[in-house]
Amino acid sequence: MLKFSPSKGHTVFFENSPRIISSAAICGSKESTGIIGSFADITLQDDMYGESTFEKAECKMLSNVISLAIEKAGFKQTDVDLLLSGDLLNQIISASFAARDFDFPFLGVYSACSTMSESILLGAMMVNAGYVKNAVAATGSHFASAERQYRYPLELGCTRPPQAQWTVTGAGGCLITNADQANDRGVKIVNGTMGKVCDFGVTDVNNMGAAMAPAAADTIMQHFKDTGTEPTDYDMILTGDLGALGSRILKDLTWEKGYDISEMHVDCGEIIYKVIEDEFQGGSGAGCSATVLNSYILSKMGAGLYKRILFAATGALLSTVSSGQGESIPCISHAVQLEV
Amino acid sequence: MLKFSPSKGHTVFFENSPRIISSAAICGSKESTGIIGSFADITLQDDMYGESTFEKAECKMLSNVISLAIEKAGFKQTDVDLLLSGDLLNQIISASFAARDFDFPFLGVYSACSTMSESILLGAMMVNAGYVKNAVAATGSHFASAERQYRYPLELGCTRPPQAQWTVTGAGGCLITNADQANDRGVKIVNGTMGKVCDFGVTDVNNMGAAMAPAAADTIMQHFKDTGTEPTDYDMILTGDLGALGSRILKDLTWEKGYDISEMHVDCGEIIYKVIEDEFQGGSGAGCSATVLNSYILSKMGAGLYKRILFAATGALLSTVSSGQGESIPCISHAVQLEV
């Protein structure tokens, strides 16, 4: 029996308890030396992944995490009703080409590095309403394809400013199903808060953390308000790729409004690498929160280490054209509350 | 009282009758000489629309159709719960920057020229489930921004092959609300069929109609199967921008499978221009079906001329990078059934 799902503010409550019953992650060689190395399903020795171009390698990672998530749930591809995916490449070609490998419907989404939380949010909405039984949410990124699309050809060997982050090579995905099929397995998606676009006028494309922090703050505080919760109700408030600087700005912005999240805030970008000189502020890219969530975090939740997490990935909605035309960087953050 | 919405195959049935209660369209100077000229809310004399770049003009059209759709519904911006939008530009900057003008949540979507039907489908899903009361679905495109992103700089004055289409300068949007608020106004969204990616191996980027026709055929026939309807049950089967050649291929593909849609098939791309030499196969772009649907078609439905329409816009999910790397063109079509 379907129960009515009320919404409040920007938050939708899922009364029929959609669940993430499996997840999968693939990460690049550099990423495999960090925290997710021992949790990822596949770690690449060579980031070309046997393909002829970086873009094809990115697409292959995405396609393979989708297959893996389905397989790990104990399902067949014919059991899946929907794929929700997007990525950072122009016209989200990784997602569209990965979707070509499967015989189920595909809804393309885009919110830059917030794509993981947007696709989980939409998947939970679909499953909760009974529109579909099983949906896969997935995204990824590749350092080399992002670098040459957004910044400079790798061959130039450009130096990076200290506020820069390093685009993660990796993909992550999960399978969302309804309570009946989950059979008490998995992580509940309790509610989701839809983000709105925030633009604080940051124009430095090497300082995404500063641009995205206000969007994260807006969505996280909207979530507290809509759900009547406060920071201490969560074991972890997990952002996507604010990096070290952006995380400090987020903590400042929320503290100013009376929310102290310093105890339980973790940023996927900050923890994904053993930060050495090259990555400066940590990791970024749609694959950053996708790999950390779908390997390390969901695994720890499964083991009962974390009971309640607010996952709020953030996206910087710029393009090289908008920056070239002098525009600032509009950002967004979508959030989902996960519980075991 | 929320009713359960069953799904069958790839089709979701909306038992709570979400409705389109207002729509708005803005079109460029060339488009205003065609069929939509007298139905659009704003027709541009100058396609720069008072902006300094084509991209900013495209964004302004989109932002303005969103405002207009809200206004024409008799609503204020504070009444709106969600914007669903995407566009053809890299990183969907038109949609993201337009969303910056509004204080409600935004979910970015991408399915190229099928974005209008994808966003209406998602909006109907949200409203039908009670997640939001009012959602705006909108998209657009601009000949000049698309041409320089996908093809050649306009200044080169490249000749166009006979199978080419002309990207529409225009934007369209509509407001979707629930039956209570609609108060018997508007057009019902009865159900929606989610498309899957189809790739028949077409590699000619100037022949999008041929690439997209199989995706349209797949979704339309899936829709017939899921809903138990046949072509004659519809006053019109409306595709987005297959153009003249693509439309012929669609009719052939469906005829081969026992569905004769020749009587009631109309393609927005085929009817938007008075076809003279330049446009060859007709219009294309996300703005093509967006402007035709949200001006001419919904206006005629409001007047009772058409009672039941299947709207199946199609999208070609390529990028310049995927084509440059020798890939074929994966395509998709999402469909919604509209009734008065």
Read off the pLDDT of residues B189-200 as tens digits, 9 standing for 90 and up: 999 999 999 999
Instruction: Identify the CA nearest to A315 among candidates A290, A333, A288, A329.
Output: A333
User: What is the distance between the alpha carbons of residues B204 and B189, in angstroms, rounded to a whole number?
Assistant: 35
Q: Answer whether residue B204 shows pLDDT above 80.
A: yes
pLDDT of residue B8: 85
Unique residue bearing structure tokens 């389109």: B20
Q: Which residue has the tokens 């109700």?
A: A233
Of B81, B199, B318, the CB nearest to A91: B318
Tokens of B79: 């009444």
User: What value does the mean pLDDT take over residues A70-76?
Assistant: 97
DSSP labels for B235-247?
A: SEEEESS-HHHHH
Q: Is the pLDDT of residue B277 over 80?
A: no
Model confidence at B157: pLDDT above 90: no
What is the band of B182 on the pLDDT scale with cuts at 50, 70, 90? Answer: confident
Q: How far apart are CA B119 and CA B135, in angstroms?
A: 10
Phi, psi (deg, nearest 5) at residue B24: -145, 150
Q: Tokens 């910044």 label which residue?
A: A151
Of A97, A108, A195, the CB nearest to B109: A108
In a mutational test of the A interface, the residue from B114, B205, B322, B325 whose CB has the highest number of chain A CBs within 10 Å is B322
Contact A319 B89 (CB under 8 A): yes
Q: Which of A53, A125, A130 sits opposite B325 (nearest CB)?
A: A53
| pLDDT bracket for residue A3 (50, 70, 90) | low
Distance CA B217, CA B64 (A): 33
Distance of CA B294 to the CA centre of its chain: 9
Mean pLDDT of A83-101: 97
**φ/ψ of residue A143, rounded to 5:** -50, -50
> What is the percent of chain B with per-residue pLDDT over 90, rounded to a whole number?
87
Q: Which two tokens stand for residue B126?
A: 């949200």
The string of pLDDT tens digits covering residues B285-332 is 999 999 999 999 999 999 999 999 999 999 999 999 999 999 999 999
Angle between helical axes of B54-72 and B143-150 (0-180°, round to 10): 140
List the single residue in A4, A199, A319 with the smallest CB-CB distance to B2.
A4
Please determine, for residue A236, whether its predicted confidence score (pLDDT) is greater than 90: yes
Q: Using the beta-carbon criterion (under 8 Å), do A107 and B107 form an inter-chain contact?
A: no
Please compute, for residue A101, the number of CA atoms within 13 A of its CA located in the half-sphere on the CB side.
15
- Rounded-to-integer distance, Cα A129 and Cα A192, Å: 14
**Cβ of B197 and A112 within 8 Å?**
no
**Are residues B99 and A197 in contact, defined by beta-carbon separation less than 8 angstroms?**
yes
- Tell me the percentage of chain A whose pLDDT exceeds 90: 87
- Give the separation between CA A40 and CA B12, rounded to whole angstroms: 35
Shortest CA gap A82–chain B (Å):
8
CB A252 within 8 A of CB A259: no
What integer is the mean pLDDT of B218-222? 98
Q: Decide: B241 and B276 in contact? Cβ < 8 Å.
A: no
Give yes or no for residue A167 having a pLDDT over 90. Answer: yes
Cα separation, B102 vs B22, in Å, equals 18
d(CA B83, CA B99): 7
pLDDT of residue A281: 83
DSSP H/E element including A264: none
Which residues have CB under 8 Å from B328's CB, separation 6+?
Answer: B199, B200, B201, B202, B203, B211
Nearest CA in chain B to A194: B105
Token representation of residue A99 = 């979707």
Q: B125: which 2 tokens? A: 């899903």
Closest residue of chain A to B81, computed from CA coordinates: A10
CB contact under 8 A, B196 and A105: yes
- Helices and strands (H and E) in chain A: how many: 11, 15
Question: Confidence band (pLDDT; 50, 70, 90) for A152?
Answer: confident
Instruction: Determine phi and psi for A115, rounding to 5 degrees.
Output: -60, -35
List the single best residue of B125, B131, B333 to mutate versus A (max A Cβ within 10 A).
B131
Tokens of A91: 């016209």
Q: What is the pLDDT of residue A338?
A: 98
Q: State whether ipTM is beyond 0.90.
A: yes
